[in-house]
A = this chain, B = another copy of it.
């Protein structure tokens, strides 16, 4: 199994829709991908939470997946998020993404009925067995409804060969401490306002939609960490923190799409019931973007 080195700033793409919300706008998607890569991000992650993967039909999901991978064209690694309520559908998506050239598959165990540890492990094993590329395990109880303990994560890491990375989005830095003390699994931060501390704790990368709007600040923070310069990293972090808090609180699809529109790239609105950013929010976002 090839294992690309995933590190640094991992940029999440939005999924642009046509004005009536009915169609995916692939052209706008392509432009947003090019922007991210040109800005210097170290990897591209389509169809994550920001990418409204959960709100797409199967056909749309396939379309966005295949198009994104092709558009990235190996300039950087592509990490495709796969999340579905049934194991069968998650396996199908993982295979589809692998066949179309995904470098890494990210798996969030979505749930309706609460899952036991054994059920989650079996879910990861079934996906792992069906593909040959590495899997980044993704823990985000706020969206998935399933909180994987550090013990469970490490059990999966040991038992499912191609689970080789962990994205932790609980925002609880102690989880990263435990991963570090108890294993050598590379971990990545998925909680924007924890960016500084996650790097301090040894995170290998930061999974974030922020580079759609402020790539240079995101990248500079990572560079300061690599340069072992804590004072500079702190200063850069606090400079971007108000924006990071804003996009988290306002919802990533709504705020990132509004922000891209402000910078001249029309990507449509999120799908209902998620509202687009309101007038007041757009004003705040404008102010935040011009102040950084």
Instruction: Assess A85 versus B115: contact at CB under 8 Å? Given A120-B273, A273-B120.
Output: no
Note all chain B residues with C-beta closer than 8 A to A114: 142, 251
Note all chain B residues with C-beta closer than 8 A to A152: none
Note all chain B residues with C-beta closer than 8 A to A273: 86-87, 109, 111, 115, 119-120, 122-123
A88 an interface residue at 8 Å Cβ cutoff?
Answer: yes
Contact B197 A173 (CB under 8 A): yes
User: Which single residue of chain B is at the shortest CB-CB distance from A274?
Assistant: B113
A231 an interface residue at 8 Å Cβ cutoff?
Answer: yes
Note all chain B residues with C-beta closer than 8 A to A21: 88
Write the nearest CB–CB distance from A248 to chain B, whole angstroms.
10
Name the prevailing secondary structure of the A interface residues.
Answer: helix
Contact A85 B272 (CB under 8 A): no
Question: A55 vs B123: C-alpha distance in the bound complex, in angstroms?
Answer: 15
* Interface bin, chain A: 35 or more
Contact A112 B272 (CB under 8 A): no
Segment among A28-36, A66-74, A96-104, A234-242 that sits at the interface with chain B: A234-242
Tell me which of B173, B270, B274 contacts A194 (CB under 8 A).
B173
Residues of chain A from 14 to 65 with CB closer than 8 A to chain B in the complex: 21, 49, 54-55
A225 an interface residue at 8 Å Cβ cutoff?
Answer: yes
Contact A238 B180 (CB under 8 A): yes
Contact A272 B86 (CB under 8 A): yes
Tell me which of B122, B193, B201, B251 contacts A272 (CB under 8 A).
B122
Question: A230 vs B230: C-alpha distance in the bound complex, in angstroms?
Answer: 6
A118 an interface residue at 8 Å Cβ cutoff?
Answer: yes
Question: A193 vs B197: C-alpha distance in the bound complex, in angstroms?
Answer: 12
Contact A123 B272 (CB under 8 A): yes
Note all chain B residues with C-beta closer than 8 A to A55: 85-86, 112
Question: A231 vs B199: C-alpha distance in the bound complex, in angstroms?
Answer: 10
Tell me which of B230, B238, B271 contacts A181 (CB under 8 A).
B238
Write the nearest CB–CB distance from A53 to chain B, whole angstroms.
9
Note all chain B residues with C-beta closer than 8 A to A143: 112-113, 145
Question: A177 vs B245: C-alpha distance in the bound complex, in angstroms?
Answer: 10
Note all chain B residues with C-beta closer than 8 A to A86: 55, 271-273
Contact B118 A275 (CB under 8 A): yes
Q: A49-B112, A86-B271, A177-B193 are in contact. List 8 more A-B contacts (CB 8 A).
A: A49-B113, A55-B86, A86-B272, A111-B273, A126-B272, A143-B145, A200-B233, A225-B230
